[in-house]
Amino acid sequence: MSSRVLRVAWPGATGWVRLSLPLFLGVACIWVLMRQVDEGAFAGLGEVMAQLSAWQWAGAVLATAVSFAALGQYDVILHKHLRTDIPARQARLSGAAAIAIGQTVGMGVISGALVRWRLLPGLSLVQATKLATGVAVTFLIGLSFALGLAALLSPSDLLPAALPLFLLLLFGVSTILVFLHPRIHLRALTLRMPSLCALGAIAGLTLIDTVFAGIALWCLMPETVAMSPGALVPVYMIALGAALLSGTPGGLGPFELVLVALLPQVPDTELLCAIVAFRLVYYALPAILAGIVLIRPLPEGLRPGTIKRALHESDLAGPAQAEAGLCRQSGAEVLALGTLRLPVIRPGQTLCMLFGPLSAPGAAGPRHALALMRAHATRESLIPLIYKADARLAATARARGWQALHVADDMVLRPADFSTEGSAFRQLRRKLRRAAQSGVTVARDTTPPWAAMREIDAAWQARQGTARGMTMGRFCPGYLSHQAVFLARRDEQVVGFASFHMGRRDWCLDLMRAGDDAPEGTMHALIATVVAEARQAGVAQLSLAALPPAHGPLARLAERFAPASGLAQFKLSFAARRVPRYALGRSRIGLWLGLLDLWLAIRRPNARAGERGAAGERGATVADDTPVQEDDDDYGFARARNV
């Protein structure tokens, strides 16, 4: 329990000013409110409240219960999103209690985080703060949708005609921003925003929550007030938004002032009666119940079976294809179920399996992999995507209703059969002669000169642009130490290098870099030497990584926006054959959304890297000192570059 002791530091002068501003705002709003209402409005308040029937109170309590049921469900979604493994019942209760207390005492993020931290022993304070912040941010996004829809379906002369469309447009823009920027930074806190699936669910829950909260207020209107729920609910939502943005305890002041200003047709006494009764039912009663719940932490309950874990070197030492070595750097985790192990990354909206299972015994392996991906993506409210699957996995997926798209061709050759003889290798022989005439020598180096290689990588990026990531390797000594590194030298100076992932049966090209002064044919000499070394080592297959497909939708897109003729010519000069690779998704729209999400992650690995991925960019490591995320060769949609 000592690890859960909270140490409080007193704020400085700026902090006290920031904390006191909501209080001053609340007092100012109350002062304005007192000047707006009739002097005798409070005198008859008790008499009007006494006229509220039991049915009105019961209706308000029932509507409040429905509203808080929706509120508690926010936390269920965000716990799944943050992968805390907290059971749904505990998440729902702690979320409802946190909101009940937070909306009453104010400072909702701070108070909500503390309540969640108190009630959930398995939750850290940082996780609780992320939950509270996520609820606050996504609720405001959802409120724009709820208010826009409510105002559109129930127009009122009190609200501007353009307000519904403006709010729905705001919600749409917010959704696009969440897709493009799935992580936001709030001071010291990095918040991974919910996926579009989760955000859609939260928007729906916000609509249910606010509509039933508005109905609770409507139930408590005296019978003398002739107003439909449809007219009151949008006004209530506006008042709620003002209360939340003000930060005053319970929204006191701004909430009442907005209602009085937007409901001039309701007599002051009757309106104040409804507000006071509403605060008793919707604020005081839930806060009292939440206080009782706070007496002791919730029992931990039965957590779902945890089948996700960090990537270990042992995962890559098995029968997995060599290219799976990219998982060392992409921030990949492993979904494990029995002997089935799947390498997955989370670019933002997707749960993406790279290449295929690390181990999938028997003929049922692909089928079980698809089922596990689908179930786990649903659990996390993410889009399931499999990238660069082989033909066997793609065929199994199609048979089970998945959509498949040909996204790349691996360029492979058999070192044992490779020869530079014949007319097909005329260009290759010419390039190799020129490299030899320039004095280029190539050899594998077990202790590479990292500083010289870093300079070459920096020069390459200055020419070609920032290195891509996620599904491509990026220069990092810790990462490259797991690969076979080949150096090209001239006059003892390094002029280029290439690195290869090594598997049990195959090698796969990862990084390929040439310096500014690399002679013609340098990269051809590098690959030719690698082929010879692979033949000597008994490697059955050597992959020169991927090219865009020769045919299909992505081939046309690549030809127009990312021509790869130079790279294709380079790889085909070794007579490499094309082996098709596929992207797999549950639906056509899910497949294309997933590919767009992955494409953004490839182009902006730093901006979209997760906590583990960002650590890897700084050279950090994961389990077994495995470096995380840190580009080239061209996979599916990465812009092809000539070598």
Residue 304 confidence class, pLDDT cut points 50, 70, 90: low
Range with lowest mean pLDDT among 25-34, 235-244, 258-267, 451-460: 25-34
Q: Secondary structure of the chain: what % helix, strand, coil (to 5)?
A: 55, 15, 30
Spatial contact of 592 and 383, defined as CB atoms under 8 Å apart: no
- Which SS3 state, helix, strand or coil, does residue 461 take? helix
Checking if the pLDDT of 373 tops 50, the result is yes
- Which SS3 state, helix, strand or coil, does residue 357 take? coil
The pLDDT of residue 280 is 93
Q: How far is Cα 570 from Cα 573, in angstroms, rounded to an integer?
A: 5
Residue among 315, 350, 321 nearest 334 (CA): 315
* Residue 278 domain-assigned (yes or no): yes
Q: How far is Cα 306 from Cα 85, in angstroms, rounded to an integer?
A: 8
Q: What is the 3-state secondary structure (H, E, C) of 387-404?
A: EEECHHHHHHHHHCCCEE
Neighbours of 18 (CB within 10 A): 12
Q: Euclidean distance between the first and final Cα of the chain, in Å?
A: 59
Q: How far is Cα 437 from Cα 457, in angstroms, rounded to an integer?
A: 25
The pLDDT of residue 188 is 65
The pLDDT of residue 39 is 65
Q: What is the mean pLDDT of residues 545-558?
A: 79
Q: What is the 3-state secondary structure (H, E, C) of 290-320?
A: HHHHCCCCCCCCCCCCCCEEECCHHHHCCCC
**For residue 335, which amino acid is it?**
L
Residue entry with tokens 């990092």: 476
* Residue 129 domain-assigned (yes or no): yes
Q: What is the mean pLDDT of residues 385-402?
A: 92
The pLDDT of residue 508 is 92
Last residue of a domain, one of 529, 557, 580: 580
Q: What is the DSSP string of 87-156?
A: -HHHHHHHHHHHHHHHHHHS-HHHHHHHHHHHH-TT--HHHHHHHHHHHHHHHHHHHHHHHHHHHHHS--
**For the segment 49-104, what is each residue's pLDDT rounded down to a tens digit?**
888 889 999 999 999 999 999 999 999 998 888 888 788 888 899 999 999 998 88
The pLDDT of residue 583 is 93
Q: How far is Cα 301 from Cα 581, in angstroms, rounded to an integer?
A: 43
Q: What is the mean pLDDT of residues 36-40?
A: 66
Spatial contact of 349 and 196, defined as CB atoms under 8 Å apart: yes
Q: What stretches of 564-629 adopt beta strand conformation (E)?
A: 577-585, 621-622, 626-627
Q: Two tokens at 477?
A: 């000594």
Task: At 264, give phi and psi (nearest 5°).
Answer: -65, -20
- Torsion sign over Cα 588, 85, 80, 146: positive
Q: How far is Cα 429 from Cα 426, in angstroms, rounded to an integer?
A: 5
Residue entry with tokens 């000592």: 2
Q: What is the mean pLDDT of residues 262-267?
A: 83
Last residue of a domain, one of 550, 580, 610: 580
The pLDDT of residue 446 is 86
Checking if the pLDDT of 308 tops 90, the result is no
* Residue 315 domain-assigned (yes or no): no
**For the segment 277-291, what is each residue's pLDDT rounded down to a tens digit?**
999 999 999 999 999
* Residue 572 domain-assigned (yes or no): yes
Q: Two tokens at 75?
A: 């936390």
Helix extents (H) in 37-53: 45-50
Better pLDDT: 165 or 320: 165
Q: How far is CA 324 from CA 112, 226, 291, 443, 598, in A?
A: 42, 68, 51, 24, 17
The CATH number of the domain holding residue 421 is: 3.40.630.30
Residue among 79, 328, 73, 77 nearest 197 (CA): 77
Rama region for 507: left / alpha / beta (φ>0; ψ in -120 to 50; rest): beta
Q: How far is Cα 602 from Cα 472, in angstroms, rounded to an integer?
A: 8
**Is residue 76 located within the same domain as residue 218?**
yes
Last residue of a domain, one of 539, 561, 580: 580
Number of domains comprising the chain: 2
**For the segment 332-371, what is each residue's pLDDT rounded down to a tens digit?**
888 887 778 888 888 888 999 998 888 766 666 788 889 8
Checking if the pLDDT of 151 tops 90, the result is no
Domain that holds residue 432: 411-580
CA 614-619-621 angle, to 5 degrees, is: 85
Residue partners of 593: CB distance under 8 A and separation at least 6: 196, 349, 350, 383
Q: Two tokens at 33?
A: 């409110």
**Is residue 424 located within the same domain as residue 288?**
no
* Residue 303 domain-assigned (yes or no): no
* Residue 527 domain-assigned (yes or no): yes
Q: What is the mean pLDDT of residues 617-635?
A: 37
* Residue 513 domain-assigned (yes or no): yes
Q: How far is CA 490 from CA 441, 445, 518, 533, in A?
A: 6, 15, 8, 20
Spatial contact of 570 and 524, defined as CB atoms under 8 Å apart: yes
**Is residue 162 located within the same domain as residue 289?**
yes
CA 284-287-289 angle, to 5 degrees, is: 110
**For the segment 15-37, what is each residue's pLDDT rounded down to a tens digit?**
555 656 766 766 776 777 666 66
Mean pLDDT value across the chain: 82
* Residue 346 domain-assigned (yes or no): no
